[in-house]
């Protein structure tokens, strides 16, 4: 029995080492992704790109460490890190006016990409409100159009939750954000028109 037990012990020890490497890398990915999004909102796109670049490298390290341990890879923490990384990269692309990277470009699973795309809508709302305070209605309408397009894409994925990793909840949240943002922009647009008319009359 002892050889069998020792073999199992060795296997679990190896799994644990791989898990610790992957977990540490994924924590750093989440931190860098959050900081990248903050840089985007400061319009510091260079810093945002640097941080997403580092995060992408760490994700690759995690994937390599867990390559022989798919059970741990799919335990959930890698998905969460991929989702946050995708959100950061997509937020950067959307705000900077660049083309959206594909899941393959980012090295993330499709489910993580879609959930990250949905969460990027919340960051677009924040960007839109910042532009709204500056009176840039045209930019706001462009952001709202992008948010609408993302929501329109997400609702087409009518698959079981087990396949989409909670996408339905993300999509529902996206709809709420979109509706609130549309209302905010409508009120601001009407108010601006009234102010312009009053100014013209004066």
Single out the residue in 91, 108, 125 at which a domain terminates: 108
Single out the residue in 54, 81, 108 at which a domain terminates: 108
Question: Tens of pLDDT along 62-82?
Answer: 999 999 999 999 999 999 999
- Give the pLDDT of residue 192: 80
Q: How far is CA 74 from CA 77, 94, 164, 186, in A?
A: 8, 29, 13, 43
The tokens describing 37, both together, are 């999004």
pLDDT, the chain, mean? 95
* Domain identity same for 69 and 165: no
For residues 76 and 42, give the distance between their C-alpha atoms in angstroms, rounded to a whole number.
Answer: 31
Pure H helices in 66-109? 70-73, 77-96, 103-106
Question: Tens of pLDDT along 128-155?
Answer: 999 999 989 999 999 999 999 999 999 9
Contact 146, 94 (CB under 8 A): yes
Q: Is the pLDDT of residue 50 over 80?
A: yes
Nearest to residue 146, comparing CAs of 160, 131, 159?
Answer: 131
Question: Tens of pLDDT along 111-129?
Answer: 999 999 999 999 999 999 9
For residues 184 and 131, give the distance between their C-alpha atoms in angstroms, rounded to a whole number.
Answer: 12
The tokens describing 185, both together, are 């922009």
Q: Is the pLDDT of residue 181 over 90?
A: yes
- Give the pLDDT of residue 76: 94
Nearest to residue 78, comparing CAs of 38, 126, 23?
Answer: 23
Single out the residue in 108, 131, 162 at which a domain terminates: 108
CATH of the domain at 103: 1.20.58.2140
* Domain identity same for 1 and 92: yes
Containing structural domain, residue 160: 109-202
Task: State whether the Cα torsion 54-57-63-64 is positive or negative.
Answer: negative
Domains held by the chain: number: 2
- Give the pLDDT of residue 21: 97
Q: Is the pLDDT of residue 101 over 90?
A: yes
Half-sphere exposure of 165 (CA within 13 A, CB side): 18
The Cβ of residue 163 has, within 10 Å, a number of other Cβ atoms equal to: 10
Contact 151, 182 (CB under 8 A): no
Q: Is the pLDDT of residue 201 over 90?
A: no
pTM: 0.93
For residues 101, 107, 110, 111, the Cα torsion angle rounded to the nearest 10 degrees is -110
Rg (CA), the chain: 21
- Give the pLDDT of residue 197: 81
């Amino acid at each position: 029995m002892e050889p069998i037990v020792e073999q199992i012990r060795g296997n679990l020890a190896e799994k644990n080492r791989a898990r610790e490497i992957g977990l540490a890398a994924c924590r750093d990915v989440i931190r860098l992704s959050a900081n990248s999004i903050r840089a985007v909102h400061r319009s510091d796109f260079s810093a945002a790109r640097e941080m997403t670049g580092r995060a992408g490298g760490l994700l690759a390290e995690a994937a390599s460490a867990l390559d022989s341990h798919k059970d741990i890879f799919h335990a959930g923490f890698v998905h969460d890190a991929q989702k946050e990384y995708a959100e950061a990269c997509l937020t950067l692309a959307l705000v900077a006016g660049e083309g959206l990277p594909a899941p393959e470009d980012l090295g993330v699973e499709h489910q993580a990409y879609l959930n990250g795309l949905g969460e990027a809508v919340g960051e677009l709302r924040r960007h839109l409100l910042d532009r709204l305070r500056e009176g840039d209605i045209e930019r706001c309408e462009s952001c709202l159009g992008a948010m609408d397009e993302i929501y329109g894409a997400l609702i087409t994925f009518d698959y079981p939750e087990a396949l989409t990793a909670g996408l339905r909840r993300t999509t529902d949240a996206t709809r709420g954000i979109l509706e609130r943002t549309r209302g905010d922009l409508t009120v601001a647009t009407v108010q601006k028109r009234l102010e312009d008319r009053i100014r013209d009359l004066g």
